[in-house]
Structure 1
């Protein structure tokens, strides 16, 4: 049976980004069809494990966070650490340092409702795909898209399965189809970047007689989040909870970077990391290039791209998938707004305006992280010029790679400065950094998290479209705003909180929050119709006067 011949939105690619875009559209009651060339979800390598705090906010809205958390990798102690050793067996750590990934609810609870988690990508995809189908979305596997043709008023997509050719028509097509995106090529869009500086070949192995569970046994490993072995080369290890399998990466540079290391060389490398002459079996393998690519445009006409089709960066820090999921959320509600009539086409242009700078910034951070990891094992200095101790080595390695393990700014402080759908008023934010998060309300920033008196998070009370957060505004001003929204076909939910709860995070009497939990406008009063027209794409240029 072939896929349907028509759909409002057709997504190409059923990876995490494509599935999350489908969930965001379904959340806004927009029918969606996904076309995926693979027939099943391949579960042969534990990659793409980091699901950050911001991504968990979306999983929570879509009703999948509990299931994903139940399947995630866990540690005895949620206060996770980077543990550094010189070999895996018969040796205590030479250093243990805090990871600020938001895995500990005591740490993350001041900024988000749910902590981050670690779950391999195939496990995640299974949960997301089941939820898409449960909500009425269609996922058609085993069909490979061969052509995408934007004809102005519609898009014609051709797909093939074996000898069967099928044609579909959609109002909009989104390519979540990876680095070699067919949709990006159909858009005629180039991508820029740097590298590859090398290729990292990753392996999961089993070491006979030296199970990883024994090598990492004891209370000093209860908070193990990441393990780095720095003898003979710096290598981040995959510790698979409850299993005797473990993993590592080998960076290959120069002319042979695209040639996989010989199997015996891989096993010898594993034995050096292990520190024992064990028999090693390779269970699975994968690879990635240490490079950065950024597409010049995220939209052209009725075609869009998201995720790896837009931006590629090394996995150091675990940002690329999460950045792609935020692409999907940003685009999803805007497509819904246009299809439902309250948004204008100019709103779709702001997808590129807002997400492209984020893609550039995050990819740059990930590339810098990758370079720092490759330089982690360079000589270090001891205290007072003395020969460095193992503890000296561990400390300086942590300092060199600090941004990889501390990423609150990347995760929670992605800013949409300069967007025509944002009205920039209010206090100035401090300069952006990848490691620090400024948790205050400002247009173009994510709405800060608050715990309400009933211990529910503020975000749980936001409307599906827009939310007008009322912190002491008069009823007359609020009524005028809601009336203007209704006249323009926009659903706005008023949410009242008292100044004592809002604290310093929400300084204005009114804060207008978008469907993606970003702030469109804040102030004490305004020309409501003009504000609403601008944030929904009816006004395409920045307002020249203060609203």
Structure 2
């Protein structure tokens, strides 16, 4: 084998996955057809859930000064994330290129092998491995690994060559995007619906503005090159009456409202993550964030299988958990597309939704949806409020010093949090000490105690989601440990 895992695509999903694999000790090679980073940035920040994920891996200090906001929208209708509580703040103003650089540096610091200028041409898998054929500047190569992950975008060659269907809706319109300098533009942060289309404008700092235009009736094209800035300027003038043709175009792109979801996230030894698994209108920046969450869900599971700690069936839970997230993602972005891109016929829907926004349960539901905070996996363990949900950030006293649950998850291992100093419980988990940190702790403030919903012990997966809690769980701790972390290690195998 040339590597335990090969990841095709060095975007946010591929790099996040490579980091998770290296953190768990798995060797990984990342391939990307580009010879260097493009510097282009579709995403401009990240959601609350991604902020939490980066925090649990200790990555936040690597970013420039983070600006957070509670401002959001659903299909152009303003939405205040503060309805979810004080910690529910998204990050704004961080270009996707910066996020990719942070993740790339993290992977390299962990010893990951990233190879630009390596285009995957084909793949072939058997019972034991996957072989890929690659084109480089020096000619063709072949690499072999136990697993292959496609993180190579909406036109994924991995998905195509693996024979995974990609059903969904055909595009109905085209949107143009440009980052420009030297034009005085009124901000339209959540988009402005006009008689003949929609325009959006957001200041990016240093005199740069991002403009997005959807002209009603614009036929979607399968472009082989970015549009000219003159196209963007002409469309902007037709819709707004303002001339921006004198501006300097830094980056120009086009995208559509197509929505597709891979039929399978896993076929044998080939898996998909990120845009290779789902494409949609980039409403609220959910695409990059969902892609990173895909990678974090898959990373610890694939690493456990590669180490021989868990059976291959653990990988099936990746599809079960994340395919449903992808389905819901497409549903909410398609709904937003109708609101923001629809014409006068969509105005009654906008009016009704605006009325509904006056009710807090509606605001909470939609805010959680666009923030990724509504995700709760079916871990099959019972009805405790924490089961399948992400463990809230708690401040605790652990190992005789103050800590928090984000810090406990930094090593990328499972955590059994014993909040009742229960030696019997710790003995039950002894056989999983090589995979799970057993931590005796106590909540340090009333808010942390309230967040536990009466739990005296919780088993937390490496991705931060609760797999077991006591009391109130259907099955016992060893059953949960065996399900998510594989069989116990025999005592005579302990060093």
1:295 matched residue in structure 2: 262
2:382 matched residue in structure 1: 425
SS of corresponding position for 1:136: coil
TM-score normalized by the length of structure 2? 0.83
2:2 pairs with one of 6, 26, 33: 6
- Quick check: which has more Rg, 1 or 2? 1
Whether the aligned pair in 2 keeps the contact of 1:142 and 1:161 (CA below 8 Å) is: yes
2:80 pairs with one of 100, 114, 118: 100
Q: Where do 1:440-519 residues align within 5 Å?
A: 440-441=385-386, 443-452=387-396, 457-462=404-409, 464-472=412-420, 474-476=422-424, 478-486=425-433, 489-498=434-443, 500=446, 501-519=448-466
| Separation of aligned partners in 1, 2:197 and 2:218 | 17
Answer yes or no: is 1:535 the counterpart of 2:492: no
2:205 matched residue in structure 1: 241
| Separation of aligned partners in 2, 1:308 and 1:467 | 30
TM-score normalized by the length of structure 1? 0.76
| Separation of aligned partners in 1, 2:354 and 2:313 | 50
SS of corresponding position for 1:333: helix
| Separation of aligned partners in 2, 1:97 and 1:199 | 21
1:415 matched residue in structure 2: 376
Deviations 1:433-484 (A, max 9, x none): xxxxxxx51x2211122344898643222363211222336332x2232224
1:120 matched residue in structure 2: 95
Whether the aligned pair in 2 keeps the contact of 1:28 and 1:333 (CA below 8 Å) is: yes
Q: Where do 1:269-284 residues align within 5 Å?
A: 269-271=235-237, 276=242, 279-281=245-247, 283=249, 284=251
| CA gap 1:196/1:405 in 2 versus in 1, 3 angstroms | farther
| CA gap 1:101/1:133 in 2 versus in 1, 3 angstroms | farther
| CA-based RMSD | 3.6
1:47 matched residue in structure 2: 42
| Separation of aligned partners in 2, 1:449 and 1:33 | 33
Give 1:38 deviation, angstroms: 0.3
For structure 2, list consecutive stretches of 5 or more residues without a partner in the other structure. Answer: 489-495
Whether the aligned pair in 1 keeps the contact of 2:197 and 2:341 (CA below 8 Å) is: no
SS of corresponding position for 2:284: coil
| Separation of aligned partners in 2, 1:379 and 1:311 | 26
- In the alignment of these two chains, the number of paired residues is 471
For structure 1, list consecutive stretches of 5 or more residues without a partner in the other structure. Answer: 85-95, 217-223, 382-391, 428-439, 540-547
Deviations 1:211-252 (A, max 9, x none): 34xx56xxxxxxx95464747643221322221444222245
| CA gap 1:145/1:459 in 2 versus in 1, 3 angstroms | same
Give 1:162 deviation, angstroms: 3.3
SS of corresponding position for 2:63: helix
SS of corresponding position for 2:132: strand
